[in-house]
Amino acid sequence: MPQTLKEAQDNLKSIREGAAAQDPDSHVQELVGDKGYHSNGTLKLCEAEPLRSYLSEPARGRRRWKGDAVAKKAVYGNRRRIRGKRGKQLLRSRGELLERPFCHRLDIGGTRRAHVRGQSNVQKREYVAASAENLGLLMRQKHGVGTPRSLQDRAHGLPRGKPEQPWQRYAANKGRGRH
């Protein structure tokens, strides 16, 4: 986790330009993650850094805090934050922006079970699936459609947003000599 946080901070600074890149206050301030990242060590790290953690807490049962007051403070602070309005909003948006597309790529995109041999080929298949997903996002942002087929339909002048009915195609092509 420390290495990932450092890389995220470096990436954010490289994206920003001008005075924001030189600003010492321009750093990662909040950490949002699922219950796989929830551990005493991670939460202690967040307490040591100026980070507010919003990590979902796994069902562990009753905790025994003998001799670890720093971890207790960090866990209770995280628990308080994830139960608040801001924490719920951050965890919800994390699910929408990260988990849903990943699950869609696994289920619909067919990458849950890759029928190729070798780890490098599996990685290539995953890269192609992620690239296709990103291409769809870019097309949706720029053209208002998310697939090449729907872009092709728009290029032929079909009504946007409404499903085409068979009689609409016939009426549109009637005067052009194509039936």
Asked if residue 170 has pLDDT above 80, the reply is: no
Token pair, residue 140, equals 């949706």
Q: What is the per-residue pLDDT across 115-147, written as a single tens digit (0 to 9) for each? A: 778 888 888 888 888 888 888 888 878 877 767
The pLDDT confidence band at residue 160, using thresholds 50, 70 and 90, is low
| Closest alpha carbon to 40 in 1, 6, 80 | 1
Q: What is the per-residue pLDDT across 97-121, written as a single tens digit (0 to 9) for each? A: 888 888 878 777 777 777 778 888 8
Q: What is the per-residue pLDDT across 4-22, written as a single tens digit (0 to 9) for each? A: 877 877 777 777 766 666 7
The pLDDT confidence band at residue 54, using thresholds 50, 70 and 90, is very high
Cα–Cα distance, 112 to 1 (Å, whole number): 26
State how far the alpha carbon of 105 is from the alpha carbons of 119, 127, 173, in Å.
18, 11, 38
Confidence (pTM): 0.62
Name the helix (H) or strand (E) containing 30: strand 30-33
Asked if residue 88 has pLDDT above 90, the reply is: yes
Provide the H-helix boundaries in the chain. 2-15, 19-22, 40-48, 69-83, 85-94, 100-107, 119-143, 148-155, 166-173
Asked which of 16-25, 32-41, 132-141, 167-176 is least confident by mean pLDDT, the reply is 167-176
Token pair, residue 24, equals 């010492």
